[in-house]
Each structure stands twice: as C-alpha cells, then as structure tokens.
Amino acid sequence: MRKERLPYYYEVLELPPSASSAEIKKAWLELVQVWHPDRFNHSPALHRKAEARTQMINQAYQTLSDPLARARYDAITRKSAASKPTSRPSPPPRPQPTPRPRQELRGPQSLIILSRPGQPKIPVPAIQMLVDSNEHSPYDFRRLVRIAGTIRQTLPAGDYAIAEAPGLFCVERQLVADLYASTSTSSDNRARFLRELERLLPFPNRFLVIEGRIDQAQGRGRLSEYLKNGVMDFLDAVALKYGIQVILADTREEAEERVANLAAMHYAYFYAEQEGLGRSLSENDL
C-alpha cells in the first residue's frame, strides 16, 4: 500500500527549515491574508482553491508554531529524506554567461500584461502614486517599472493611494519605532493610531505596512519578548477587526517595493475589469 506523502510545511509557508518562530508567524500572517477566500468571491473555482490553500497554510502554521509538534515533524521529514534511494548524479551543467545586473531597476522588471487566448496582449500602464502631503520621508518609487511617478496631495486616509483609481487602494505606513509607541496602552498615540486606521475602512483594499524588524523591540530578554508579542497581538487584532492586511517589511527598500507592487497588482485587476476582461490577468490566473 502506497503511503500518503507528508506535506512539506516549510514550502507551504515559503520558508527554509531554519526559520525562526517569528518568521513562521510573519509568513503565516501574510499568506492567510493573500489567500483569504473572501478575496475570491467573484469566482467559485478560485474560492475553492483559496479555501484549500488557506487550510494547508493554517495546518502548516499549527504544526511549525508548536515546538514539540515541529520537532516531531522535522524528525519524520529527515527520516523520510534519508530513506530515499540515492539517485545517480547528473552531469555538471554547462557554464553559462553571467547576466549583467540591472542595477538601474528595482522590483519586477516589466509591466503587468493582460492576456487571453487568441487575443493580443494588453500591457497595464504604469501608475502614478498619490502620496499624502503629511508623509515624512515618503517613498519616491524611483527605478520601479510599474510606477510612473508620484503626486503629493492631502489624502482622506492613509499615506499612499493610486492616482488612476483613488478609491480602490490605500496604504497606511508605520515605522516599527512608531508602532511600539502607538501600541502602548499608556499613550494617547494608541487611540490616535486606531482613528487613522478607521479612516481606511471605506477603501476595499486597505493595507498597513510596517517598516522595520518587529523583533528589534525596546528592552532586553523577557521584556523584549513581551513587547514583541504584544505588538504582534495588536497587529492580529487590527487585521481581524478592520480587515486591514498587515505587511511586514524588514527594510525601507522592501517596504517601498511591496507598496509599489501591491498597488500595481490591484490596479491591474481593476484595469482588466475596465477593459471588459473580467477580474483576472490571464486565463490561468492563480
């Protein structure tokens, strides 16, 4: 009787086996937001796929977030890998010329393309990003192919939006240091921060981008762990209460690229609908 193959949970969460508990939780939080079935109500087939994917993501997180369950799982997968017959080594690959680095560009290197069988491909135009006039040290989105430029103006909510579709997408950006200050229960900053998040609610696609490493909390030892866990609980509550997708980025460059790509992707689906192609970029979208 053939044994059922054990799912490789690290691949499900897009992590290496050496991932820390914080990295596992971060990956789980992002993936359940990306694959949330409610985002695919427009397509029963995609909704079913998203439900199955979310179930696998949650199963992976449940196993890998528990130290004992993770240890047992790692032992089983190592034993399974060791029992596989050794395959004949393949010949060494032919040497290939080293590609020239494209240092002038960042992020995705091409525009998003709408494609349908038997129809010409349609490139989605690069977009202009609206940047709130009160945003300190704003992203300029330079050298990002899918962003045509920025426009500074006062926004009704958040720090970034799409000029071509102002009501479609909104991002609130927060530095880690400010996040710790805002989540302090003894500070008026917490109430102010929650009011800012509530202003995002009219937007169908709303995001909170955290710039910086969450694990670099103030304090040491148990105090640092206590503060970090409190912040993560706060972010989980924000996602659940307000339906705001939380994006964690370790660096400014990573955060800027995530905002740019999220904006470009959301506009691409919007643009596809405007072109009468439905809410998909291609026939096999996901």
Residue 101 has a pLDDT of: 46
Q: Are 208 and 245 in contact (CB under 8 A)?
A: yes
Residue 181 has a pLDDT of: 82
User: Do strands 147-153 and 160-162 pair parallel, antiparallel, or not at all (unpaired)?
Assistant: unpaired
Read off the pLDDT of residues 186-221 as tens digits, 9 standing for 90 and up: 667 888 899 999 999 999 999 999 999 887 655 555
Q: Are 59 and 9 in contact (CB under 8 A)?
A: yes
- The rounded distance, in Å, linking the Cα atoms of 129 and 114 is 21
Does 223 lie in the same domain as 128? yes
What pTM did the predictor assign?
0.60
**What band does 239 get if pLDDT is binned at 50, 70 and 90?**
very high
Residue 242 has a pLDDT of: 93
Q: Return the higher-pLDDT residue of 275 and 259.
A: 259
Domain boundary residue, one of 82, 106, 133: 82
**What band does 231 get if pLDDT is binned at 50, 70 and 90?**
confident
Helix, strand, coil percentages, rounded to 5, for the chain: 45, 15, 45
Is 95 a member of any domain?
A: no
Is 60 a member of any domain?
A: yes
Instruction: Return the CATH number at 240.
Output: 3.40.50.10130
Does 148 lie in the same domain as 227? yes
Is 187 a member of any domain?
A: yes
Mean pLDDT of 9-15: 89
Domain boundary residue, one of 82, 104, 131: 82
Domain boundary residue, one of 82, 101, 124: 82
Residue 97 has a pLDDT of: 42
Mean pLDDT of 115-143: 89
Look at the chain and report how many structural domains it folds into: 2
Does 263 lie in the same domain as 131? yes
Is 72 a member of any domain?
A: yes
Read off the pLDDT of residues 130-187 as tens digits, 9 standing for 90 and up: 999 999 999 999 888 899 899 999 999 999 999 999 999 999 999 988 888 887 656 6
Mean pLDDT of 81-92: 56
Residue 250 has a pLDDT of: 92
Helix (H, G, I), strand (E, B), or coil: what is residue 170? strand
Instruction: Return the CATH number at 76.
Output: 1.10.287.110
- Mean pLDDT lowest for which of 7-21, 50-64, 174-188, 211-225? 211-225
Does 130 lie in the same domain as 78? no
Highest-confidence segment of 50-59, 108-117, 234-243: 234-243
In sign, the C-alpha dihedral spanning 266, 269, 275, 278 is: negative
Is 23 a member of any domain?
A: yes
Q: Are 276 and 270 in contact (CB under 8 A)?
A: no
Does 240 lie in the same domain as 141? yes
- Asked if residue 1 has pLDDT above 50, the reply is no
Does 206 lie in the same domain as 130? yes
Range of the domain at 56: 9-82
- Mean pLDDT lowest for which of 62-66, 86-90, 178-182, 253-257? 86-90
**What band does 123 get if pLDDT is binned at 50, 70 and 90?**
confident
Is 32 a member of any domain?
A: yes
Is 252 a member of any domain?
A: yes
Does 182 lie in the same domain as 48? no
User: Do strands 205-211 and 169-175 pair parallel, antiparallel, or not at all (unpaired)?
Assistant: parallel
- The rounded distance, in Å, linking the Cα atoms of 284 and 93 is 32
Is 97 a member of any domain?
A: no
Does 265 lie in the same domain as 157? yes
